[in-house]
Structure 1
Amino acid sequence: MTTVVPVTVTDPTFEQVAALFDDYRAHYGRAPSPTATRAWLQDQLADRRISAAAAVRAGRVGGFITALVTPASLMLGSVWSIRDLYVAPEHRRIGIASTLLEHVVDSARAAGALRVSLQTETVNTPALRLYTDFGFRPVTGLELLNLPLDPRRPEATG
C-alpha cells in the first residue's frame, strides 16, 4: 500500500526525498550533486516556496511531487502548479504517479484553488499520457516565455 505524506525539512522522509530529487535531476541530464540538491530543496521547503509530498511504500520513498501556490489576482483566488513529479524506476507502473497527482489535486480542491496546472516536455509521452488520462488538458492561446538572467548558464533557459 502506498501512503502519501507531506515532506518537511524535519520529516524523516526528507533525506530520502532529497536523494531521489538528485536522481530526478540526473534523469534530466544534470550532474549529480547530492549536497547542493539537498540544500536547495531544504531552502525551498523551509521558505515555503514549494511544498512536497512523498509516496511511501514499506518505509521507502518511491516518488515525490512538488507544487506551489500562486495568487490568481484577476479572479481573487489562487492556482496550484505542479513543478516536479518523479517516481524511481523500480517503483514505476504501480500507480505511484497517479496517487501523487490525486493528492495534489485533492489538496488544491480542499484549499479552494481555482485550478491545477503543470508543464512537461512535448516529447515526454508517458507523462503526457498520464496527465491527459488524469484530466489535464493543453492550454491554447498562451505562450510560455522566458527571460534568461544569466545566459552563461544553460539551465537559465529551462
Structure 2
Amino acid sequence: MTHTIRQATVDDVEQLVPLFDAYRQFYGRTSDVAAARTFLLARFASRESTLFIAHQGEMAIGFAQLYPSFSSVSLARIFILNDLFVQEQARRTGVASSLLSAAATFAVSLGAVRLSLSTALTNDAAQALYRSAGWNRDEQFSVYHLALAV
C-alpha cells in the first residue's frame, strides 16, 4: 500500500501522540501518553516546530519534527530534524525517505541552507538511511551536551 506525507496541524495531535510516545520509548523512555500530548500541543501552540505526518490509508504510520534555528557562520536559517519515527510494520517501505524529502523541501522553501540531525551511534539502520538519502556525517565537529538541573 502507498503512503502519503503532509504537514501536520494541531488537528493531527491525537494521531501523532501514539507515534511520538513510541518514538520516545524507542529511545528508552517510559511511556507517557499525557506528557506526549502536552508536549506536542505546546509545540503547535507556540509554533516552535513543524511536523510532518505519514499515512497509509487512514492510519498514521510515521512523523518527522523540525525545529528552526540559524547558522551564524552561514548567516542563514537552518532546521534541526530532531525526531523521525516510522512504525515498525511500515519500515523499509520508503516512508522515512519520504519524510526526509518533505522536510528538505519545506526547509528549502523557507530559504534554509542546511538540515541537521543526530542519531544514536548504534542506530545502524538510520545511519544507512541518511547516507542513502545524501546526508553526510559531520567529520569536523564533535557534539557535546550539558545536562541542566530543571
Query: What TM-score do you get using the length of structure 1 for normalisation?
Result: 0.89
| Per-residue CA distance 1:38-75 (angstroms, 9 max, x = gap) | 10111122212211110011111110000111122332
Query: Which residue of structure 2 lines up, in the alignment, with residue 120 of structure 1?
Result: 119
Query: Which residue of structure 1 lines up, in the alignment, with residue 36 of structure 2?
Result: 37
How far off is 1:145 after superposition? Answer: 1.3
How far off is 1:143 after superposition? Answer: 1.7
SS of equivalent to 1:141: coil
8 Å CA contact 1:8–1:46 kept in 2: the answer is: no
Pair 1:74-2:73 in alignment: yes
C-alpha distance in 2 between matches for 1:7 and 1:145: 31
Higher mean Cα deviation, 117-126 or 71-80?
Answer: 71-80
- Once the two structures are superposed, the pairs formed by residues 38-57 of structure 1 within 5 Å of their partners are 38-57=37-56
C-alpha distance in 1 between matches for 2:141 and 2:76: 20
Query: What TM-score do you get using the length of structure 2 for normalisation?
Result: 0.93
- Once the two structures are superposed, the pairs formed by residues 8-157 of structure 1 within 5 Å of their partners are 8-9=9-10, 11=11, 13-150=12-149
C-alpha distance in 1 between matches for 2:109 and 2:39: 28
How far off is 1:90 after superposition? Answer: 1.5
RMSD: 1.3
C-alpha distance in 2 between matches for 1:27 and 1:71: 29
Aligned residues: 149
User: Which structure 2 segments of 5+ residues have no match?
Assistant: none
Query: Which residue of structure 1 lines up, in the alignment, with residue 3 of structure 2?
Result: 2
Residue identity over aligned pairs, in percent, reads: 32
8 Å CA contact 2:13–2:40 kept in 1: the answer is: no
8 Å CA contact 2:86–2:96 kept in 1: the answer is: yes
